[in-house]
Amino acid sequence: MAKDESLIPLKMLLFCFHASNTIILSFLPLYLQFKGLSGTEIGWVLAIGPFASIFAQPIFGYLSDKFKTVKWVLFICIIGLIIGSTLFFQMNTLVSIILMGAVFYFFTTPIGALGDSLAQRRADDLNVSFGTIRTWGSIGFATSALIVGAGLDYFGVQYMIVPYLFFGVAALIVSLKLKDVKVESEPVQLRDVSQIIRNKPFLIFLFLVLFVTIGHRANDSYIGLYIEQLGGNESLVGIAWFVGVATEAAVFAFAGFWFRKFHPLIFIIIAGILFTLRWFLFSAAEDPMFIIALQVLHGLTFGVFYLSAFSYITRLIPALLQSTGHLVFFATFFGVSGIIGSTVGGVIMDNFGGGTLYFGMGCLALVGTVLMTLYHVLPFGKEVGAQERS
């Protein structure tokens, strides 16, 4: 089988999962608002996903490494996504929404990390750019944001489960056609995970990442409410996500041309600077169209930051524990950051408004960028470089 053909199911899986994921990221806050929840209560619900991911990501990553399969762990998670979402969207009280949300997110949150981990390994095996595979997730995200956003604006946000299940079932079908990863080593044991816990450069890097990703995750949760606060609607929310993720797809697609020019930390610092500028500009917005225009920075911030950070941590963890390491990274990037961004962001939105929230996010990104620069240029940063794994 030609290498391009062998990647088609993986690309389609990324397309379908991220198409479903955009529905949750873009419109769940609006759906919860439709259910009658306040900004603070919405923050509690949105924080359940990151909280569940902190446990789910390492567990499913460990199972993937132990049984040497990404494909079948993905299959189990997608079944959980379909069943969990069906029950989640039937809940009406805050307590039931939170409890069923925890079950739903437990199976859903590892899928993106496992898909990207498989994409990174397949890219290494076939000597192709990871970004050219990962860009299909962004294309799915952008396409869904535009089409589903317009559909929900017409039919109502209460029907968001329909397109969500459509993409979820499609992801389940294509997952059966995936080519699994091959690892020539003994099955990983629980004690092997201590290699990650003792990896100081890895842990320091994860801590510094938080300063930038907290703002990113808060934006994921509240950009829809902020656009509505400025006078927009569901359709404009969809357009905003489409513009942002279209630039992200372009960044991933052309990664082979720009990514290997410099050390990943250089790109991370550049992305941090742009994150800072982006959030400060968001905080000054008075019109939803201004937010949509600024979404062109999404690819140059999240796209560059994520691709560079994912590549960097891949160097820091042994091949035996790639899935575990990747999912610990995801648990930090999307989990810990998501809990803080969702809960604190909801309180700030309720009491001070979106402008104050985005100004605080800009300040946090600025601190993170300065710390990441110090991490790169100071002696201990150079020691990290000596420990990187190719």
Query: How many whole angstroms separate alpha carbon 366 and alpha carbon 384?
Result: 23
User: 200-229 and 322-330 helices cross at what angle (nearest 10)?
Assistant: 40
* b/e per residue 148-179 (b: at least 16 CB within 10 A): bbebbbeeebeebbebbbbbbebbbebbeebb
Unique residue bearing structure tokens 């606060």: 229
pLDDT number for residue 389: 44
The domain locations on the chain are 3-387
Whether 375 and 207 have beta carbons less than 8 Å apart is answered as: no
For residue 23, give the nearest of 112, 121, 145, 111 by alpha carbon.
Answer: 145
Average pLDDT of every residue of the chain: 87
- Does residue 184 have a pLDDT over 60? no
Residues 6 or more apart from 173 whose CB is under 8 A from it? Answer: none
Angle, alpha carbons 198-201-320 (nearest 5°):
60
What's the rounded mean pLDDT across residues 206-216?
95
- Does residue 150 have a pLDDT over 80? yes
The model's confidence at residue 58, banded by pLDDT at 50, 70 and 90, is confident
Q: pLDDT tens across 266-290, in order? A: 999 999 999 999 999 999 999 999 9
What's the rounded mean pLDDT across residues 234-249?
89
Indicate the class that CATH gives domain 3-387.
Answer: mainly alpha
Tokens of 121: 């390994």
